[in-house]
Amino acid sequence: MTKLSYAKGLNRALADELARDPAVCVFGEDVGAGLAGLTPGLQARFGADRVVDTPLSEQAFTSLALGAALAGMRPVVEFQIPSLLFLVFEQIANQAHKISLMTGGQITAPVTYVVPGSGSRDGWAGQHSDHPYSLFAHVGVKTLLPATPADAYGLLVSAIRDPDPVVLFAPAGALAVREDVTTELVPVPIGSARIHRPGEDVTVVAAGALVYDALAVAEELAGQISVEVFDPRTVYPFDWAALSASVARTGRLVVADDSNRMCGFGAEVITGVVERGAPLRTAPRRVTRPDGAVLPFALGLDRALQPSRDQLRDAVRAVMF
């Protein structure tokens, strides 16, 4: 049995894929030095022409990766800062994502975009603390949000092997997580959810670092309320079949979502369940960032806008009645 950290899980996935497939390559800022924790040791092992340090030209190197993919490579692009995805939204949503449909399926764009540290990192303020997975799910880019080190490994492997563009958000709040790994690390299929803790009274959908908050709340309420912790792992495509089955058992739903409330992922999860006619016994709830939130710097202000365990506990209690 070994301890695997989340960052090491991503690093091993990347190393395994670089070793397995000569078409895999990595672009990003400071990837040689491994600054963001995703790539330590990879440039020394695979060379600077496969693990490529780029200048600070996010828009160009994001589309450069697309061009390389169209020419047969399988690039992985790393972004140190989640808010950089706003800068390259054109290159991902408007270029890579659309080329397959717009060419009538003549070509596909197997590019993986990784953000090792998405969401608040305590004290990084307004332009470094976004968690924009809802945005990518909205435009239809495959969007992954693994919570555990083994899922981080397995989903990154699947993303790299996937024929389409995929964005993988590694939540800042999960990067320090370590877990005992008893079995061999394996690919995790895109679009398959995971139940971390079975329960009978309430289904709590929590993704990314919020899984740990949901588990803590479930433990705290054990004996009073039996909480099922449902981790979609993939934001888009979403595992509706698994969620329907869970809600059919529990009849109650709470969603924890580190997005802004308006048009966020949580809204879609609730709507998707309701539309399917799930037999909900009480009105569902969601815990999110407020509408249009911009995270302020001071720690107390930053925390005030993020979904908290207190809010989640209150929401779980509320749906019981």
What residues are annotated to the active site? 128
229: left (phi over 0), alpha (psi -120 to 50) or beta: beta
For position 279 contacting another protein by CB under 8 A, the verdict is no
In whole angstroms, give the CA distance from residue 196 to residue 211: 8
Of residues 111 through 130, those in contact with another protein by CB under 8 A are: none
**Dihedral of the alpha carbons of 157, 162, 166, 168, in degrees to the nearest 10:** -10
For position 66 contacting another protein by CB under 8 A, the verdict is yes
Beta strands in the chain (DSSP E): 2-5, 24-28, 51-53, 74-78, 112-118, 142-144, 166-171, 178-181, 194-197, 202-206, 227-231, 234-236, 253-260, 285-289
Sole window of 55-63, 128-136, 246-254, 295-303 interacting with another protein (rule: CB under 8 A): 55-63
For position 59 contacting another protein by CB under 8 A, the verdict is yes
For position 20 contacting another protein by CB under 8 A, the verdict is no
> Nearer Cβ to another protein, position 61 or 230?
61
Question: Are 144 and 155 in contact, with CB atoms under 8 Å apart?
Answer: yes
Least Å distance, CB 237 to another protein, is: 6
For position 21 contacting another protein by CB under 8 A, the verdict is no
Q: Residues 238, 310, 292, CA angle at the centre, nearest 5°? A: 60
For position 170 contacting another protein by CB under 8 A, the verdict is no
For position 73 contacting another protein by CB under 8 A, the verdict is yes
Among 32, 140, 187, 296, binds another protein (CB under 8 A): 140
Q: What is the DSSP letter of 125?
A: -
For position 275 contacting another protein by CB under 8 A, the verdict is yes
Question: Are 254 and 286 in contact, with CB atoms under 8 Å apart?
Answer: yes
Binding interface with another protein (CB under 8 A): 25, 49, 54-55, 57, 59-73, 75, 90-91, 94-95, 99-108, 110, 140, 142, 162-164, 191, 237, 275-276
